[in-house]
Amino acid sequence: AQSVAQPEDQVNVAEGNPLTVKCTYSVSGNPYLFWYVQYPNRGLQFLLKYITGDNLVKGSYGFEAEFNKSQTSFHLKKPSALVSDSALYFCAVRDIQAGTALIFGKGTTLSVSS
Amino acid sequence: DAGVIQSPRHEVTEMGQEVTLRCKPISGHDYLFWYRQTMMRGLELLIYFNNNVPIDDSGMPEDRFSAKMPNASFSTLKIQPSEPRDSAVYFCASSLVSDLWSYTFGSGTRLTVV
């Protein structure tokens, strides 16, 4: 069965500092990996995806994520955090062989202080 | 396009009552997903449809929950009878088969069962 773990419920970082939101996954086959962001009282918005190719993928709003197959991780990163980045971030996985729907982690709240 | 439209935005109902949540996917999208979000369990997949046909309903909690998609532009999620533990935010999302990694989410329905 496929699953996603986000080990931190909350990440706090000062504006201008780099940020990392962690994600590990478990699938039986090759994974498709995703990050979504949720702002208060809104639906989730797609940030970026890893399907194949370069292990470092770039997405919206300056975010990037690094796929590490040996560590089964897909951490979200940004070199310089903004207060407006404060939101709830979800990592998601799709097992190519298992099915179509995305399985989401529980989410990590990112809080960026000024 | 107006995006994925969910109604109502908020629903407060008494235990034992029937609740119907509605979703209008993006025109042309052939996949539709229902998710439930709670603090304890995060974002859970309930059921998804492809071309109006239910593909996987293994996430539906129990027989009190049912979902239908009578046509390509409308889906409902019904809870009968409702219980306080059903209180959550229910999201609908849609996607194209050619772009299965990018879901478009609705703004959600916040359900409170008292």
- Chain B, 53 to 92: residues with Cβ < 8 Å from chain A are 55-56, 91
pLDDT at A27: 86
Amino acid code (one letter) for A100: T
Per the DSSP assignment, residues forming a β-bridge with A112 are: A13
Evaluate if residue B89 carries a pLDDT over 70: yes
Amino acid code (one letter) for B35: Y
Distance from C-alpha of A31 to C-alpha of A72, rounded to nearest angstrom = 10
Q: What is the maximum span of chain A, computed from C-alpha positions, in angstroms?
A: 44
Residue B35 touches partner A, C-beta closer than 8 Å? yes
Evaluate if residue A1 carries a pLDDT over 90: no
Question: Closest chain A residue to B108 measured between Cα atoms?
Answer: A43
Whether residue A104 and residue B91 make contact (CB cut-off 8 A), yes or no, is no
pLDDT in tens, B92-110: 999 987 676 788 999 999 9
pLDDT in tens, B5-41: 999 999 999 999 999 999 999 999 999 999 999 988 8
- CA A66 vs CA A2, A8, B58: distances in Å: 19, 17, 31
Distance from C-alpha of B69 to C-alpha of B23, rounded to nearest angstrom = 9
Sorted by sequence, the CB contacts under 8 Å of residue B29 that are 6+ apart come out as B94, B95, B96, B104
